[in-house]
Structure 1
Amino acid sequence: MATDVKTNSASPDPDPVPRSRLSGAKRRERFLDMAAEIIVESGVSAVTMESVAARSSVDKRLGYRYFTNRDDLIGALVEREFKVMRQRVHEELPVITSFEERLRVNTRLWLATIAERGPLLRRLLYGEGPLEHYASTILNAAVADWAAMIATETGLDMTLAEIVTRMLLAAMSGAVDVMQTGVKSLDEVADLYSTIALAGIRAVAQGAGDNGLRK
């Protein structure tokens, strides 16, 4: 007796396409990206290893392959943000020799970075529960670099050069505020700040020279 053989008229499933897996470096960058999104949306306090893993759609244990803990992750994010700034500076400054031009370029680059990534940078450094360790590390590095340049340019001793630098960096927050009001364009604010900063540096150097305070 013949037996009906049921056949499947549907075409056989094609071989499944292997899902691409992120490399370790790319997975780490994705964790940083997701942490940045959480910080912009909800603040630094909302970042946990669990929340970042959930946003990345992976098991929370995976994050510990790349970061020791939450603080390590946030520290890496801070470093990545300022690495972007350093790369921009290094791309534009090698051909610049004058102190004045270096100051103007650095000012414009910093304001441009704030314009692009301001919400994240502000929350990282000045959000609820400021990350004082990271903020002070970045500030001290900037002070050391600029004080050395000011001392070389003007002949001021390092102590006075550092004082001037810290005052100028503090005044940068005012430039950021002006830029964010939209009253002046980024380039206009950068030019105004640079003009004021250069005049101030020269006045201090002149006064130090008159009083015999140069090195």
Structure 2
Amino acid sequence: MIAIVKYNAGNIGSVTNALNRLGIENNVTDDPAELKVADKVIFPGVGEAGTAMKYLKERGLDEILKYLEQPFLGICLGMQLMCNHSEEGDTECLGIFDTDVKRFRPSSASGLGMKVPHMGWNSLSYGLGVQGSESVITQNSELLTNIQSGSDVYYVHSYYAELCEDTAATCDYILPFSSMLQKDNYYATQFHPEKSAGVGEQLLKNFVNL
């Protein structure tokens, strides 16, 4: 059973539909007891960081989510809430990944003429000398099994997680940012695997098979 964290995130329906297509039993819940005993947990998200963290705190989920031991996958806002701090609403987040979330600034020298939000298909890159970040060596991730570096996936976001030692894949839009993060049993994607066609389906299969 995969538990999907309920916290008023906007893409829960698309995540459940993606798992249903794969024949994976799932349950949407904000019950800490159910989350603790689930085989795996998915933390989806489309929304605003401050409002989302308020919901998590009201239900005591902010502490529960940080200490789960089963495979855990954050998606989009879910990934951002797993970081230390978000500029969106000046929000203190869960602190699972030691990096901060910043807003894209299209007025910067590297972003002139580029639109925010970053919306649509763009690549994920991993390995030595990933695009735009020659000094970054991303870690190996089981979620990328049978997925080629440079594959296109679907993004919709105005905020990004900075590169850090937990970066598992990158993307370059205005500047290089973390497309994926991984630390111990915690995995996260800035892109939406449930909307990323065959690549996203493969990633979800890899997560299910962990």
Please, what TM-score do these two structures have when normalized by structure 2?
0.25
Q: Look at both structures and tell me which one has the larger radius of gyration over its CA atoms.
A: 1
Greater share of residues in strand: 2
Greater share of residues in helix: 1
